[in-house]
Structure 1
Amino acid sequence: MSDKEFTLEVLRRILLEGAGADEGVDLDGDILDTDFEELGYESLALLETAGRIEREYGIALDDDVFTDNPTPRGLIAAVNAQLRESLAA
């Protein structure tokens, strides 16, 4: 369990550490509402990203977290909701 907040900066770091970035994709730009697929992250990269988030934050994400939240904004909200639930438990 963690009391840390999941932020865009953390997501950027995890994406880069786990799968790198496609040439021509600027993760430092305004990516909050850009689909992960448009950013060059396919299912395998997203599985790696989910695993890294789970390990770092001590939470379990739903298998469909990226299907339900195809953008960084959605994922950040979902992870933070899961963190709040974990703290309340």
Structure 2
Amino acid sequence: MASKSFTLDDLKRTLREAAGVAEGVDLDGDILDTEFEVIGYESLALLEAGSLIEREYGISLDEEAVGEANTPRSFIEVVNAQVAPAKAA
């Protein structure tokens, strides 16, 4: 069960684990509102990241919402929408 909210650092760690980092991409830069395609991640990588997050946090993510999340900020919001109820349980 999650004990804190999901952060940008959590997302970067998960993306690295799920799909690595594309050459020339700086995940430590200002990427919060950068589209995933620009930083080298396609939908398959995001679905894999979502699966890792589900296992780690014990939550279930809406695949459609994950697919529509086109920036790190929107992806984090999707995850935190599920983490918050899990914390309250």
Whether TM-score is above 0.5 comes out as yes
Q: How many Å separate the matches in 2 of 1:87 and 1:8? A: 19
Distance in 2 (alpha carbons) for counterparts of 1:43 and 1:68: 9
- Matching residue of 2:69: 69
Tell me, in whole angstroms, the C-alpha distance in 1 between the residues paired with 2:83 and 2:66.
Answer: 16
Q: Which sections of structure 2, spanning at least 5 residues, go unmatched? A: none
Name the residue aligned to 2:60.
60
- Runs of 4+ displaced beyond 6 Å: none
Q: Which runs of 5+ in 1 are unaligned?
A: none
Deviation larger for 58-67 or 29-38: 58-67
**Residues 26-69 of structure 1 deviation map (CA, whole Å, 9 limit, x = unaligned):** 10000000111111111221111000110111100001123332
Residue 33 of structure 1 corresponds to which residue in structure 2? 33
CA RMSD across the alignment: 1.3
User: Residue 20 of structure 1: CA displacement?
Assistant: 0.5
**TM-score of the superposition, structure 2-length normalised?**
0.90
Over the matched positions of the two proteins, sequence identity in percent amounts to 60
| 1:6 counterpart residue number | 6
What SS class does the counterpart of residue 32 from structure 1 fall into? coil
